[in-house]
Amino acid sequence: MKTLHALILGATGSTGQELLKLLLEDSSFSKVSIFVRRKPSIKHQKLTIHEIDFSRLIDYKKLIDGDVLFSTFGTTLKDAGSKSQQYLVDFTYQYEFAKMASDNGISYFSLVSSSGANEKSFFFYPKIKGELEQAVKKLPFKKTQIFQPPILIRQPELIRNGEKIAIKVFSLLNKIGILKSQKPLSVSYLAKKMINHIKSEKKIGIITYKAKEIISSKL
């Protein structure tokens, strides 16, 4: 397999940080381009940083060029401030970016969605994630992989109080054999999975990995 040029949307988030670190260390990737609101301090000879205004994505379309797009973009209602702003981040910006990537001939797309994503959900967050999944499935990538992870164990400085409680609860339930398919998963493990599945050419088309599959399958 030829060396690849990877693009990351969401490189400053918890999963994106791990993904970036692993891609920079992986000889299968000769170049890594990230698209961010604020420029991070990291430097590397393989890394190109594009500091952009997501409300004007069309202005950067020519920069969205490479082999594979990883999207780990996302926010919470609390951080976004309103449902409309959360929708912009979790659906609009991600879909528009993926559409431009497809238009520009990028072959592979890897998306972090959410366990329980469903466009018909009564709840706002899984509904957005479900709508995004259905929208990107219509884009003509050679390979589209969608990950629906369980609750993620983030870096200590990024983990939220609610997530800490949920992780403890699920961990206790897992110990007595309950909800093992929703076992908390480290962002590092998820990032490794995303990269390994892109590097494998055995499967093409649209592939959705449920939480249970992500947890149980080998790296």
Average pLDDT over residues 157-166: 52
CATH architecture entry for 4-154+185-213: 3-Layer(aba) Sandwich (3.40)
Q: How confident is the model at residue 201 (pLDDT cuts 50, 70, 90)?
A: low
What is the residue extent of each domain of the chain?
A: 4-154+185-213
Residue 60 appears among annotated catalytic residues? no
Considering 127, 129, 183, 193, which one is annotated as catalytic? 129
Contact (CB, 8 A) for 177 and 143: no
In this structure, of 36-50, 105-119, 121-135, 197-211, the range with the lowest mean pLDDT score is 197-211
> What pLDDT was estimated at residue 100?
98
Instruction: List pLDDT tens digits, range 113-141.
Output: 998 899 999 999 999 999 999 999 999 99
Considering 125, 142, 189, 212, which one is annotated as catalytic? 125
Dist CA 96 CA 89 (whole Å): 10
Residue 125 appears among annotated catalytic residues? yes
Q: Which of 89, 61, 60 is nearest to 75 (CA)?
A: 89
Gyration radius of the chain over CA positions: 17
Average pLDDT over residues 79-105: 94
Check pLDDT > 70 for residue 164: no
